[in-house]
Amino acid sequence: MWNIKQQFEKDGYVVLEDFLSETEINELRAECDNLVENMPEESKRAVFSSADSNILQDKDKYFLDSADKISYFYEADALGPNGELKVKPELSLNKIGHALHELNPVFRRITLDERVKECCFQLGFEDPVVVQSMYIFKNPGLGSEVIAHQDASYLHTEPVKVVGFWIALEDATLENGCLWFSKGSHKSGVHRRYIRNPDKNSNDLLIYTSPPPYYQKSGFTAVPVKKGTCVLIHGQVVHFSEPNKSEKSRHAYTFHVVEQKNTKYSEDNWLQLPQDKQFLSLYKN
């Protein structure tokens, strides 16, 4: 088993090769195929390519309501102005989220695996819960850029104790949009937050608390990995991925774990469960 804490605290991320077996990768991908085959009808699609404020509100509402559901999020370039698909359905998606770990038995089993629990144990988590999960497609020619960000901007706790598990289900290369990290940037605090808008009269349901910081690209290190690799991501480390302009997809399964003991999950985080639900406990399942 890996010894991860020292490197995690030094760099803000750790690369764990051969985290999943070929069989497990194939199981996740096959289950994703099942989910895609059962995508919502066209009328239920969230449209991300319009500047119309009412549609943007609908998009934000769909996003906000996805915490305890399996929801489908499309690439803007894959949809026409009325939500019609311009490409094959299997190439149209950006991601599926945010409760795969809770509601889907295949993704739940991988998320609750002993390897995941061991990583959290080594990182000092005492009462970890899984707050959200995503299957990310990064499809060829359409997979969009993910701007430089910190996960704690979106999933904030006080004090910050968040770790992301990012598992490559295909090789992630420089060409198809591998992760890039700013080593050590997790030591610089949380740079901005993404929150539910306290102004109830605004059309914007979600807002950033400040403009995006400028990050020099020369300060980042590319982290191409083979499929089956898991990258552990500190909640405050700055990372990004470039658009996929290649002919090969870059599928990944990712989920986030937060500490519940002696921390407070921020009430203005975008992701909030209904009052009658709780986050999935990692150690108790």
- Residue 58 is predicted with a pLDDT of 57
pLDDT of res. 85: 77
Please check the confidence at residue 252 and state whether its pLDDT lies above 90: yes
pLDDT bucket at 52, cuts 50 / 70 / 90: very low
Residue 219 CB neighbours (<10 A): 14
> Where is pLDDT greater, at 230 or 94?
230
Please state, in angstroms and rounded to a whole number, the distance separating the CA atoms of residues 25 and 127.
28
| Domain span at 144 | 5-272
Please give the model's pTM, rounded to 2 decimal places.
0.93
With respect to residue 17, please indicate whether it lies within any of the assigned structural domains: yes
CATH number of domain containing 46: 2.60.120.620
DSSP 174: T
Closest by CA to 48, choosing from 84, 98, 83, is: 83
pLDDT digits 0-9 by tens, 108-128: 999 999 999 999 999 999 999
DSSP assignment of the chain: ----HHHHHHHSEEEETT-S-HHHHHHHHHHHHHHHHTPPPGGGPPP-S---HHHHHHHHHHHHTTTTSEEEEE-GGGB-TTS-BSS-HHHHEEEEEE-HHHH-HHHHHHHT-HHHHHHHHHTT-SSEEEEEEEEE---TTTPPPEEEE-GGGTS-EES--EEEEEEESS-B-TTTT-EEE-TTGGGG-----EEE-S-TTSS-SEEESSPPPP--GGG-EEE-B-TT-EEEEETT--EEE----SSS---EEEEEEEE-TT-EE-TTBS----TT--PEESTT-
Query: Does 279 fall in a domain?
Result: no
Ramachandran angles phi, psi of 163, nearest 5°: -135, 135
Band (pLDDT 50/70/90 cuts) for residue 47 is very low
As to burial, measured by CB atoms within 10 angstroms (0-12 exposed, 13-18 middle, 19+ buried), residue 4 is middle
Spatial distance between the Cα atoms of 54 and 186, rounded to a whole number of angstroms: 37
Does a structural domain hold residue 109? Answer: yes
Q: What integer is the mean pLDDT of 178-183? A: 98
283 located within any domain: no
Q: Does the pLDDT at position 251 exceed 90?
A: yes
Lowest average pLDDT, out of 27-41, 205-219, 255-269, goes to: 27-41
277 in a structural domain: no
Kindly report the backbone phi and psi dihedral angles of residue 162, in degrees, each rounded to the nearest multiple of 5, phi listed first: -135, 135
Q: Is residue 164 part of a domain?
A: yes
**Following DSSP, what letter does each residue of 46-58 receive, concatenated?**
PP-S---HHHHHH
List pLDDT tens digits, range 192-212: 999 999 998 888 899 999 999
- Asked if the structure places residue 258 within a domain, the reply is yes
> Would the pLDDT of 56 be above 50?
no
- The whole-number average pLDDT for the span 155-171 is 98
In a domain, 187, yes or no: yes
Q: Six-digit token pair at 176?
A: 């198809």
In this predicted structure, the answer to whether residue 89 has a pLDDT above a threshold of 80 is no
Determine contact, residues 70/96, Cβ cutoff 8 Å.
Answer: yes
Domain count, the chain: 1
CB atoms near residue 24 (< 10 Å)? 18
